[in-house]
Structure formats: C-alpha cells, structure tokens
Structure 1
C-alpha cells in the first residue's frame, strides 16, 4: 500500500466511511503495531500516547521515505488523527460504519439481531432490504432481525432517526422506540428516543402512523386496545410521557406543506371570506382549523401563500383580524370577536 493510499484510507476510517474489507486492513495494520497495545487505560495521558504513536509512525510506516517535507506533513496529520482514534478505541470497541443492510457483516447482537450504529458525527443513510430509507442520527443505533422483510418488518431504535418507508400493505413497518411503538404501511416520519430521556417523540411528515405504548408487563395482552394510542397524520407529533403512560398529541415545530409547489402558487386571495383562507391552510398543511364560522362570517382577507412558516402566517392573519390562535391537540384553534 502506497503512502497516498494509506493516508486516504486512514482519513476515511476516522470519518466512518470505510467498507468492511477496508476496516479489516486497518485492524490488521493496527495489530502489527506493538506500541499501540502497551496502554489500554482510557485515563492514560493523551500526550504520552501521542509520543508513542508519533515514534511508531516515523519508524515503521515511512522509514524509507525520501521526501522529508511530505513525510513530516503526512505524519503530523495522521498522528493527530490516530491519537484521537486510539483514545476512543481504548474505551470501547468500534463497530463498522452503517451501510446498506446487504453489506453488513457484524455478528448478531445478543439474541436481538443485527445492529447498525452511527458512531460518526454526521447523519448516516441506510437503505433496508425492502427499499425503505433510514437516516440515522449520530450516536443512534438500529437493531433488526436477520429475517427482516421475509416475514415482517420490525426494528428497534435507540436514539433518533428519520424513516421513509416503502409501502407494503402485507407487511406493516414497525419501529420500537423505548416504551413506544410506531406502525405504518408506507409513510415518512421521525422518532426521537434519547437514551437519557423517559419520553419519546414521533413526528409525521407524510402518510399515517399508528402510535401506541408498549406492553407494561410480559404477561400483558398483545392487544393495543387497552393501551394509549393515537393516529398521526402529516405535521402532527406525539410525545409519550413514560412516567404517566400517556400520549400527548400536538403539531410539529415547523409544519411543512403537504401539497406541491404548483398548488401552493395558486393559493392567492383578494377580499376572500376567511373561511376560504382557512380551508386553504388546512389543505396546504393537512391540519384542522377550529373557529366560529358565525362569529367570523364577515371577516375577509387578501393574502397569498409563500415560504413563511405556518406560525408566522397565522400570526399575521390574526393580527389583521383582531383574533388570536393556539395549538390544541394537533388542531389550530382561532378565537375572534368577529369583524366589523
């Protein structure tokens, strides 16, 4: 392996972008370096470890190099990277970077299945065998059975991930996140199940998601009828309060349009009844607006839809009409005394 090749391979390894075969090459090289194995304590001073790695790199990797400037520049960059990598590796085993399921070579994880863990500092895109896309956030992990998509589509999430699920009515897509379960046929949604939090968040971007609490005890019935459950549609969120075993439904922080850009451009109104404007908002965001049609029957509005977010749009409308709004149970509630 040439100097340039090893440089590029080391850089991609530290970024979590190497293949399983390249991981083995790095491990094989690491195993031949006795200096790396003399210190296993994560409390060892970084400066001492750095000196040992620096010396080893100079003696064993580029002993025969003739270009002194290139050699020292390269060694400096790799030494710093390897110091950080060694301190990290001394504390826990580094799993291979997440890739498509078909490329996974890790052994089964203690009766749970195959585990994908994002140990990098950036989002990792994973394409499952059914074609579904998962965007795994840093520090998050996903576990599924090796027979995934053969009999059912079921996964366990720790951390945060976005799912864009391939439709298959015969095989619901089920994600277990802590004490919460999300079940869909085909949709896109995100789940946040932080390890240090007792609460779980589910946000829906498109389609419908059935969310319900997990069984309280092993002997509890598999039926979800006696457990807290909700149906989520686009721009809706549910928060599971573990301590109270309760689901709280609301609207996502930044609702997105659920219609095309061409349809949005057609939403323009001149002295239109407020009912038409509210109907348009419901269509554009897939959210329900509650208001007193009798009280606001004389209210009119001249407006159009653009890139401003929903909260700003509602704030402007209510200010012009002398009204107010609030979000209640994933619905928009407008309060008004009418228009003169």
Structure 2
C-alpha cells in the first residue's frame, strides 16, 4: 500500500469514529470529489477492502449486528470504501463501471471474519487453523486459501493456533509486518490507531519481516515478541523495557519478553482470549483504546495530564465503571459517564 493509500485508509478510519479534524474532513472530501472510474483505490486488493468495509460498519453504528462472514461482489467495491460518506455513496457507485463476470467470481470468493466492538469471536479457517479475534478486528483471506496458499490479512488483534503444513506456510499480512508460520500459537496486535503493532509467540516459531525493512527476517522464540512502531513514539508504550524502546527507535523494531503475571503465569498479551484485561505499565491513552473496544464506549480526555498516567492491573469480570474505579486507587483522576461516552480528567 502506497503512503497516499495508507493516508486515505487512516482518514476513513477516523471518519468512521467521528474523529476527523476540519482539515482532515476537507482532505477526505477532496479525495472523494476526485474519484473517477480509473482512480486508484486506497487498498492493495479486494481482501483489504473487505476488511475496511466491515471495520467502518462497526464504527458508524452498524457494529452491533452479529459478527459474520460474508461475500462482496465487485460492483460494491467503491461503495464499500465510501460507506462513511453515506449521503454520496450512490453517486460514487454510478462512477464505477460494470465488471466482467470473471472479476465477480474472483471477488466473491474473498472472505472476511469480523468482530464488532464489545465482542470477541473464535473461528476455524478452512485449513483447520483456530483463530480468536479480539474486539474491532477483521481477518480476510482470498480464493484458494488452504489449497494453493495460506495467506490472511489482519486488521486489529487475533490469536492464532496454526495447523501444521510445511508445504504451505501460513502467512499473515498487517499494516506493518508480514509473519510466516509453519505451525505454532501466537498473538498479533495490529490496530490502525494503536501506537505499536506486535507479534507475541507462545509456542513454536515464527518469522517476522517488518515492511519498513523487508530484507530483515526476525525469528522469534517462545515467550518472545516483536514490537514495531505504528504511530510516532515519544515515550515507551509500556510492557517494553527501556533498552528495547531505544532499539525500537533506532532499528524500527524491538524484541522483548512477553509479560508474564507471576501470580498465575498468565501472559498479558493473550489475556483477552480468556476475556480478561491486563495492563503492564501502560499509558492511560493506550488503555482507553482497549476499553473502547471491549465495552463499546467512547472515551474523551478533557485535559492533557490524564492520558499520560500509567497503570498495571488485571481485570476479569469487571464492567467499565468498576474497571475505572479500581484504577482510581492507583492514580488520581475523575470520570463521568454520559450514555456511551466517558469523560476523564486529572
């Protein structure tokens, strides 16, 4: 995906969450107005478009429908990208020429497995691989998966228990890295609005290639993770030693041990699979994103101090109010819940 395509992808994501600035709205409107039948779309393939379509549905209010797999015909491609621009979507559809029947057959074989905010989902892929999707995530794969190849594209977070097949390695594509697997269990976190993308290995072995350094092949060992920057970093994102943070800034990626709770030997990076929340010296701003996904709430910081607070905690069955009240014992802040929005101040 080119820098321009990544930019449009990011703006569409922010638009769906109603977080665009006036300048960003103007940029989106300019892009939309320039679309024509031959205009390049901001995605590398139909599978990526499927992921964004479902992601935007989740963000603009349709996310509460049950997670499902679906098939998207080619004639709906541009409409899928323009879904947040609801009022003008039919105009954009009119600009798109009718595709050839062969193209329809190819696109209709693409599959997407999604989860809305407030939910997780377990699924079995055609090759027998088990996947657990965290809230607000999408996994797509194209025709021939399990037969000629085993490649998927992930937006969000997922835990994989990959079926072994040495002749057909399992490959995961995210916005910041490609991961090659033979047979193993691991977690991948690749949300577009998170500061970092991560791959955490639980057992087996995986080979990670950062997109910023495709010639680099990093092989992880069990209980090890690789962290790549997704947004500009000024301070450590948490769960990362200072020396690893320096490596992240210097090399564009960092290796570190997964975070293990000494009380029960559970791994913080995969706690969500058991419906738990685990924070290890994480900034409140990053924790807020996870709370938004888990509880289908929007969190607004009303000052510049609260987002920088750091917390270490584990929660299992607490609701969002109980979670925030428990965090208040660690650092002073106040919050107010107004329907589906939480306002937090120091």
* TM-score where L is the length of structure 2: 0.41
Q: Looking at CA atoms only, which structure, 1 or 2, has the larger radius of gyration?
A: 1
Greater RCO (CA < 8 Å, at least 6 residues apart): 2
* TM-score where L is the length of structure 1: 0.42
